[in-house]
Structure 1
Amino acid sequence: MLSCIIVEDEFPAREELKFFINSNNNFQIDKEFENPIDALKYIEKNNVDVVFLDINMSELDGMSLGKIIHKFNKNIKLVFTTAYREYAVDAFEIKAFDYILKPYSEERIIKALDNLVEEFTDTNKNGSSKEFSVKKLTVNLDSKMFVLSIEDILYIEADEKETHIFTKDNMYFSKLKISQLENILSENIFFRCHRSYIVNLDKIIEVEPWFNATYILKVSNCNFKIPVSRNHVKKLKEILTIR
């Protein structure tokens, strides 16, 4: 799912845009802002895939904000939503993904959203980034389905026919293969440390040297120690700055 924010100081325009975005299951609106300065502070601290951005705003105009975002993170897709045609050239000079004129056309918004999904999907196929950055994962336990926040996952283990997802309280099951989970989970949070294991990097509390120049990992609220294969040692040392 693509994470996005809306930066728009007009309430009716913001509500209309929210309606169209929420109608597309590939998007999640993480935050909405009237003040572009607040939006910039949020972007600096959080992962954002798409910014829907008005131009005519107080304190900091949308075009200036777009230029700052582009310098800060060129991977963020900028979609300008404005009543002003004359800024289109400036928008595309900073490689804006789209430029949508108000009043909104439903067909135009839907096309822009579909193009965004296609762009991220193609990027994933080319190996440059993951298709979506998910924040929730649906798992199974005792014939019931539960929705987990990914930050609650300690680690994931591949079994012969299913995948086990461990939290501090339970072990859940998923029909997805561990390779599929690796592909949809954020690599900033999760690390494939072994053919059979993915670990939540935020949960690691101890790294122990093991045989053959490898490691085992201890995570919070768990007695089981997770192995790191030799093929993944170098990457782990880079991530955890092990010297």
Structure 2
Amino acid sequence: MKKLITTVIIDDELHSRDELTFLLGRYDELEIIGEADSGEKGLEVVMRKKPDVVFVDIEMPQMSGLELAKSLQNMKNVPLIIFATAYVDYAAKAFRVQALDYLVKPFDEEQLQDTVERIKERLAFSGKQEDIKTGIEKLAVEDEGRIVYLSPADITYLFREDRETIICTLDGKYSSKTPIKELEGKLHGYPFFRTHKSYLVNLNKVEQLIPWFNGAYQVKVVGQKEEIPVSRNYVKLLRERLEL
């Protein structure tokens, strides 16, 4: 049986959800498995159903589509994000959170067809195997004029300080000019989690999750004295990734 591309629609306007449901229903390869009328509910639906693709509005009360997309970047299998909005001036911000496409209401059917083709191409290209790493793969880090090859499994966490990224391992720390966002991309598929805008943690090295204040937490990792901050928005997702 051919696998369908599972899809979730998140929009606070019912008629927009209905219109998109109708238009996407014309594509036999797509299966709409859920919808939500807010960012908060949408996050719950996506975490529970784990779709391949999420169509999401940007302007929503409380949690916006952009905030939702940022939260989804910490999922083990990050769904493709398609923004569907009445506003054209968010496009630049949308692509900063790795959106695949940006649809403007009212929906143009030709543009929607192009979007569906892009979805099919992207999923066919990845083969849904983005989290499988094989062979010898090491992270190359330029450190004080030399190139150091680090195994991702040996990295405990990374953080951004001033204009440098510090990569911490059990054996030492390495300084790199490479932005943490770029290193996060290179480590995609390994169990790293963005706990804070400036911190990336190896989940296999986490020992403790420690309450801090105002709903925020700190993480303790193997072999490191420092406690790493966890933003409130990421606590629930972090626990879901860590716990059986």
TM-score by length of 2: 0.50
Computing the radius of gyration from Cα coordinates, the structure with the larger value is 1
